[in-house]
Structure 1
Amino acid sequence: MSKLSLAGEWKLRGEFMDVTADRCAEVLAHLNAMPPKPTIPGYLTEENMTDEEREMYLKEPDPKFTVNTALAMHPYPSKTGYIPMTVPGDVTTALIDNGVIEEPFLKDNTKKSIWIKELSWWLVKEFDITEEMLNEDIVRLNIEMLDFNADILVNGIPAGHQENTFCAFSADIKRFLHVGTNQIVIRLTSGMELNYPHDTVSYYCASDNAICDQRVYTRKPQFTYGWDWCQPVPTCGIGRSIEIEAFSGAQVIASRVDTLSLSGNDAEIEFHFEIEKSNMVQSAETELEYELSIDGKTAYTGHQTLMLVGGINFAQERVVLKNAKLWWPNGYGAQNLYTFTARCTARGITHEAKPKKIGIRTLSIDFSKLPDESRNFFFKINGTRIFCKGGNWVPTDSIYLRTPDENYKKLVNEGAAAHFTMFRMWGGGTYEPDCFYDYCSEYGILLMHDFMYACAFYPDQKDSFLYEAEREAEYQTKRLAHYPCMAVWTGNNEIAESYTDWFPGMLQPERYWGDQIFNYIQPRAVQHNSPLIPYMPSTPYFGERSNTTEEGDVHAWTYFGRDSKTRFKFSYELEAFDRFPARFSSEYGFFGAQMESTVRRYLDGEEMSFNNPSWKHHGEFERKRGAIDGVINRHLTEFSTLDERGYLLYSGIMQGLLYAEMAEALRQKSYGAGDLIWMYNDCWPETGWTIIDYYLTRKVSFYFLKRAFDTKKLIIRKANGGAIVTVINETPDEIRTTICVGTQTFDGAHNSVLLTKDLTVAPHSWQQFHVDAEEPAADGYFVVSADGFETADSLRAYYREYTIPESDAVIESVEKDGSDLLVTVRANVFTPFAYLMTSDDRVHYSDNYFKLYPGEAKTIRVENCDETPTLYTAATMHA
């Protein structure tokens, strides 16, 4: 086998939409010319710009402006020449690199790049083919991702068409090639030209935030058309790998290892192989060899002699793996990963499959019924209940094909650092590259994985659409089947809920559009390719109305908004979290501002001001700001006294407090099984729900959620006649400690001990007990501490209701530890918010924006830092 990568520099040209693939020769006539480079940032050349065009350019563009207006403002479609483009990559990045447009995420530049959707984009590359390659049985063009509407021509001959970003393109092109120099042309569009007139299906996904209500007809990342948390940035491109593969013989093209059961230290496992043989009209005896190894030692070798036919063949073997090393989620145990290799030898030719990392673990969902007739919804790994802590993952960039592997690694690592055990892959985004799933498996992050359908009904009456849905489900379930991080496939985001809850009375759609996909095609694909991974037709799901609290998972937006039993009675009433009987909350979030470095980065030299239109464009608009300002006012301090920097600080603190309150409320319930915030990461720089921003900077709220998700956790709440203490140990280790429950006053002058006892905390355990006591006075609170655990108190995030002394917090010592600093701080009075800062707000801390209890020292690790930080405290204003 030989492979020829087509990655690298290509040539790119923009054309009118009516310049279709059959006009390829016309487009190639200008191949060796280069277009004029614009001299005005933005798009027109100085020579061609009239006074009227200049006036038009200076006005704020309308995202829905006409095709003619858009094209009049830009040098495309050029009548001469091409610009260079790096593949893999996208058209938008190439236009940025060549000075045609400005970076869309700075200031309000997203408005200036909408025009890209109006054109067809032509990519051209020449490559050399050897005689040896043409002597192989199959010479195949493999493109992992084509976004979106693609025509592929090889040496001027149509070689294929693709209308699904979520399936790889693969075609035998041997008959189109010759020895020597060959040419490939790929014509792409953003898919916008495929818009249908308003119809029954697309009517139900109409949105003021999106530029295309007919997105349901395009199998590409839906968020690129705009959502309520991101601007539309329509683009197209070639993603991930692109290569020509020439081979003869037999090769493993898909494989997985299922863990069927565990018994003591042994695991019953089953190997599954899909094998392709190249010669379609001959059979061949083939040797299949495979191996599992870990830590450099072989754990199992397998061998089968097979008689293969042309095309696809299947093989499997069930064995008992002795002394198996198990894979566990983050915090619950080690992420042991075996290396899985396989090779085929047929007619003297051996082909090695790409090695895979697999985990030995069992997985199930516990739906057992509770005494009140409600049901559990616990994920169980290796028979152990897992509390799923984490967040919703959205694409890392609105120009999503430009994300480097290291960004995926950093984001997954940051989730692990915040004690995450699960990401939910949101259905309006994309199936991520292999490296992402490798990192999730390495760091122990489970995946609740939507298929990529969201907040709309889909045209399952169209045979062509069902064909693409079936291809996609088959491809993705097979591709991801071997990853131990895969915990559940979910059919879509909120579509079942929308049918039952969103359209009352006569507004409800005439039928549940999409059921052929979500209730038939997808479950069959999961069963066929990864039968031990559970499947849910939608999220949220289970119960009579899809989105119910007593069964399955829940998206809590309705419950905190309209439900009479659980809704907020005032601006983020904290007791609503305690009233919320959810088993598993897979969506809910709170707004929070970004760090100052991020704001200044996207303002790109403009003033950081509440009135700056660019700041408003990045999420600081009236509806959102009203929610943020109101909750700061209700819980922390008088908002009118805050300047822009004060707003950034208190907005971040408030977001963190609310995330922590909800997490603790769910974790202290015996049936609490999961808390996935909406959302974890950003696809562009915006004030929003996330704890990690677009530039991968930790927001203030990151540290609050990290503490709330700690693997060893104490929670104490006031209760009638005393306090309820919850002790959680998710680690695999038994903890023997002495627990102390008492009361303290804010000034530290009065402390009392209510209970001291030795406690043995079993691995993977949750326990709760009541302490009889009088409620503390207005200047005091319950407190619980134990070696190995962070101290906890009974205070809620109503800090304007408390009268707290001015903090006297100080840094006691600073020590060097390799490239890190160890900073010890102390206060004599209760300090609700103390934080360390250097001149760079992107520095990482082991903890920050933390509480200090009277007389208690706290040591913080400042990572990779030589600058001694300054200690600050955030005061609260008594209402």
Structure 2
Amino acid sequence: MLDATPLTDSWILRYDGTDLPAEVPGCVHTDLLRHGVIPDPFLGRNETEVAWVGRREWTYEVELADGVSGGHDQTDLVFDGLDTAAEILLDGRLLGSVRNMHRSYRFDVTGMSGRLSVRFASAYAEAQAVRERLGDRPNAYPEPFQYIRKMACSFGWDWGPTLVTAGIWRPVRLERWSTARIARVRPLVTVDGTTGCVELLVDVERAAVEPGLRLEARIGDVRAVAEVDGTNGVVRLEVPRAELWWPRGYGEQPLYEVELTLYAGVDALDVWRRRIGFRALELDTSRDAHGSGFTFVVNGERLFVRGVNWIPDDVFPSRVTRERYHERLTQAADAGVDLVRVWGGGIYESEDFYDLCDELGLLVWQDFPFACAAYPEEQPLRGEVEAEARENVVRLMPHPSLVLWNGNNENLWGFKDWGWEERLAGESWGEGYYLGVLPRVVAESDPTRPYTAGSPWSGSWERHPNDPAYGTHHSWEVWNREDYAAYRREVPRFVAEFGWQAPPAYATLRRALADLGEELAADSPGMLHHQKAEDGNGKLERGLARHFVVPDGDFDRWHYLTQVNQARAVAAGIEHWRSHWPVCAGTIVWQLNDCWPVTSWAAIDGDGREKPLYHELRRLYADRLLTLQVRERRLVLAVVNQAAQAWKGEVRLRRMSVDGVVIGETDAGFTAGARTVAPVGVPKGLEPVGPKEFLVADTDGRRALHFPATDREIPYPQPEFDVSVAPGGVTVTARTLVRDLLLQADRLDPDARADRGLVTLLPGEQVTIGVSGWKTPDPDTARSALHCLEPGR
């Protein structure tokens, strides 16, 4: 039987005559940080002080005992991930050179021993050498990330630091085996009626000519056997009355373990085990009266996708454990998310990520790692791209959560709109990958899943790549140049990216900027260093000014209002687009998470704290949602029901003044069928007029509000409310209208968390905000952490 021995101990990181004990898996930065050689690059402006790390060579070494033992025929040295350009030597002999972070590598070291050295070149030096050979190409950032198959965002992004890593970032081991081993398994999983079908296409590597190799596979009590023909074999299993795997909110997530064993006679040589799920999958992109759609269909159920974009959860991805994945993905599921898009400037995540998505019912949209740049298609990159694609498509095939392969992020759009075509003057830029190599790899390796050439993509060069009426759409003009009310101008078929910025939580900022000794201010040097977007603060301020009086020198007020504006902006988009289902079939918010403490579009900041946006997503992505929308100059209540059962009831409509007086009210019945949207007309006499009035719609504990004026025009009363400490939380009782009340729990204690975000209370209403992690609760301290909208502010 194949014997695997992890190589995790006794590694040394060597540079300039210095030897440091190293952790493997890991990277140079984390080793240097652990030994105090560099400061924490997440704090203050330390990022700039450690820039030298990415521009020099590094060597990892370990003593390797005799590579042959236990009577095995062959010993392989296996690296699951090397970051990125490196030479591997054993006892001074070159085993090979590598240049791709996204691949694994295997070297035959049978009978060999001695000093194992992994010598990493600077990623900058490797990228520059490729650029000089292939010529310059445009990109969205001034770093050479498109010339090396490495996590692009380690070179910095408009939310990320420039920390160019090197190291053995995934596990390394010795594998000893005899006769033959299982080299690759492609599980094609389909559903035929009530029968689950699995076809295992197996590649075998042989160390000796051994006739009579066979494969035995099982799923529970279902078993099948097949002979190996040379180096290939196919085993088919059928599971009667298979339970279907569903996205969260639509059903359960049953998983079946498949075990495949390779035999020579009675001897078991190798075993492959994975969990699979049975589900039917379709991506409907057919033409209709509105253009062409982009609708996921799982087990015959058409979905409105409630998604988030995912970036690497740490700029040093070797630090992301299964426990951290579990925390972040559970946060996503708890917010009502049912799809996570793994963005193309990052990585193919670890098995833990996809395993957890399988368990949680989170659909995965997987980008191939291409983002915001023109990528050369010549060697040495072309061969690397195809090799990495083939490996990762096969690696991730078993996961039922994986529902889409996407060729790139914004590169087709960039070619059309960002001046690339003229600059390229006929040079290659990646089109051959997205419309040639990658769809061919997916079709050959994983024909059970759909592929799309990019995001955004309208399906054809006959239309603009970002045409909202066709396929996927990225909505960034709003954040960059307009008020978020502009989201309501159009109904894209599928919104794959949109978002609005806000700073991280107060405690996160305090930790990140503590060593600078500066007062927190929107434009302090520390705050600006942790704002990576072009004119990010200017866009934040202009976005505020359209709705509020921009605070002058009051950081706490600025911090609160930017959080409110972020939640309001995202709500404006999602409520509008959800109300137009099934024309619009999904939204994917940019973004769920951060990789360090930074002002960004994230709902969860770099320290894992939830912003108000996160709690707003729980409302926006709930199965049932009320939203008041203006349609053809009339106010309409859209009753959005994504649940499997019809929603029937009565909604109470109240036209009110900001002073709390009810001007008019009525009850209206509604019926929204399963997975439908039902419009309820608002009587003309209940439509609010002017800045002193608003409309409230309530049913089944859900509420929608409509204010016809911007906040800066509304004469809010001075908010009055009582605060008391309840068991496990804080109770607030309103004596006036209290708009967008927010308890910033991390101001009570850095470890404290609140169970909700923004809430609006009418006079006489009460809310209890659950708080965990607060060690010494008292009402005065609670009041100091409460914020709400105030007149003239």
TM-score, normalised to structure 2, is 0.92
2:520 matched to 1:584? no
Aligned counterparts, 1:793-832, within 5 A = 793-795=705-707, 798-811=710-723, 814-815=726-727, 821=728, 823-832=730-739
Match of 1:479, SS?
Answer: helix
1:638/1:877 contact within 8 Å kept: no
Conserved 8 A contact 1:715-1:793: yes
Contact 2:726 2:768 in 1 (8 A): no
Using the TM superposition, give the Cα deviation of residue 708 of structure 1 relative to its aligned residue in structure 2, in angstroms: 1.8
**2:137/2:375 contact within 8 Å kept:** no
Aligned partner of 1:29 in structure 2 is: none
Identify which of 291, 297, 301 aligns with 2:222: 301
Give 1:165 shift: 0.8
- The match for 2:757 is 848
Partner of 2:566: 655
2:137 is the alignment partner of 1:204 = yes
Deviation at 1:445, TM superposition (A): 1.9
- Per-residue displacement from partner, 1:549-573 (whole Å, max 9, x unpaired)? 0001111224776xxxxx73xxx15
CA deviation string 1:503-523 (max 9, x = no partner): 178445425522332222211
Local SS of the residue matching 1:87 = coil
Shift of 1:238: 0.4
Q: Quote how far apart the aligned CAs of 1:308 are.
A: 4.2
Q: Is the 8 A contact 2:79 2:171 kept in 1?
A: yes
Contact 2:752–2:772, Cα closer than 8 Å, also in 1: yes
* 1:392/1:837 CA distance change after superposition, 3 Å: closer
C-alpha contact (below 8 Å) 1:742/1:784 kept by paired residues? yes
Which structure 2 residue ranges, 5 or more long, are not aligned?
none
**Aligned pair partner of 1:624 in 532, 536, 541:** 536
Contact 1:249–1:347, Cα closer than 8 Å, also in 2: no
CA contact (8 A) 1:262 1:382 kept: no
* Equivalent in the alignment of 1:117: 54
> Is the counterpart of residue 141 in structure 1 residue 77 in structure 2?
yes
* Counterpart-to-counterpart distance in 2, 1:252 and 1:854: 69
Name the counterpart of 2:307.
390
What SS class does the counterpart of residue 791 from structure 1 fall into? strand
Give SS of 2:753's match: coil
**Once the two structures are superposed, what CA deviation does each residue of 1:329-370 show, in whole Å capped at 9, x if it has no partner?**
232332332333332332322256354232222221122323
- Which whole-Å CA distance do the structure 1 matches of 2:398 and 2:638 have between them? 37
TM-aligned CA distance change 1:604 to 1:405, over 3 Å: farther
Match of 2:3 in 1: 2
Instruction: Rate the CA distance shift 1:770–1:259 in 2: closer, same or farther, 3 A.
Output: farther
Q: Is the 8 A contact 1:500 1:546 kept in 2?
A: yes
Alpha-carbon spacing, 1:340–1:733, altered in 2? closer, same or farther (3 Å): farther
For residues 468 and 229 of structure 1, the distance between their equivalents in structure 2, rounded to whole angstroms, comes to 28
Q: Does 1:282 align with 2:210?
A: yes
1:336 and 2:232 correspond: no
Specify the alignment match of 1:44 in structure 2.
none
What is residue 26 of structure 1 aligned with on the other side? none
Whether the 8 Å CA contact 2:222–2:238 is kept in 1: the answer is no
Equivalent-residue separation in structure 1 for 2:209 and 2:703 (angstroms)? 72
Contact 2:226 2:235 in 1 (8 A): no
Q: Secondary structure at the match of 1:239?
A: coil
| Contact kept in structure 2, 1:376 and 1:551, CA below 8 Å | yes
- Asked if the contact 2:576–2:629 (Cα under 8 Å) also holds between the matched residues in 1, the reply is no
SS in 2 for 1:600: helix
- Per the TM alignment, residue 112 of structure 1 is displaced from its structure 2 partner at its CA by 1.3
- Aligned 8 A contact 1:632 1:639 in 2: no
Per the TM alignment, residue 281 of structure 1 is displaced from its structure 2 partner at its CA by 2.5
CA distance in 2, matches of 1:621, 1:523: 33
> 1:579 Cα deviation (Å)?
0.7
* TM-superposition CA deviations, 1:467-519 (whole Å, max 9, x none): 11111010010001111121211111111111111117844542552233222
Q: Answer yes or no: is 1:164 the counterpart of 2:100.
A: yes
One-letter amino acid of the structure 2 residue matched with residue 835 of structure 1: L
**d(CA) in 2 for partners of 1:200 and 1:730?**
53
Q: Does residue 1:314 correspond to 2:233, yes or no?
A: yes
Query: Structure 2 matches for 1:477-488, cutoff 5 A?
Result: 477-488=393-404
Report the alpha carbon displacement of residue 104 of structure 1 after superposing the two structures with TM. Answer: 1.3
Corresponding position of 2:89: 153
CA distance in 2, matches of 1:333, 1:9: 47
| Alpha-carbon contact 1:340-1:356 (below 8 Å) kept | yes
Shift, 1:769, TM fit: 3.4
Q: Output the CA distance in 2 between the equivalents of 1:854 and 1:286.
A: 75
Q: How has the CA–CA distance of structure 1 residues 360 and 603 changed in structure 2, closer, same or farther, with 3 Å as cutoff?
A: same
2:466 equivalent in structure 1: 547
Q: Which residue in the other structure is 2:788 paired with?
A: 874
Amino acid at match of 1:205: P
The 5-angstrom pairing of residues 431-446 of structure 1 reads 431-446=348-363
Shift of 1:395: 1.3
Instruction: Using the TM superposition, give the Cα deviation of residue 597 of structure 1 relative to its aligned residue in structure 2, in angstroms.
Output: 1.0
The AA in structure 1 aligned to 2:28 is: V
Deviation of residue 186 (structure 1)? 1.0
User: Does structure 2 retain, via aligned residues, the 8 Å contact 1:637–1:876?
Assistant: no
Q: What does residue range 217-232 of structure 1 map to in structure 2 within 5 Å?
A: 217-232=147-162
Q: Does 1:667 align with 2:567?
A: no
What code does the residue aligned with 2:9 have? G
The structural deviation recorded for 1:454 is 1.4
CA contact (8 A) 1:345 1:351 kept: yes
Shift, 1:131, TM fit: 5.6
Aligned to 1:191: 123
Q: Structure 1's 532 and 842: CA in aligned 2 closer, same or farther, altered over 3 A?
A: farther
Deviation at 1:227, TM superposition (A): 2.2
- Is 1:602 aligned to residue 512 of structure 2? yes
- 1:786 aligned onto 2:699: yes
Partner SS state of residue 8, structure 1: coil
Q: Tell me, yes or no, if structure 1 residue 645 matches structure 2 residue 564.
A: no
TM-score normalised by length of structure 1: 0.83
State the number of aligned residues. 776
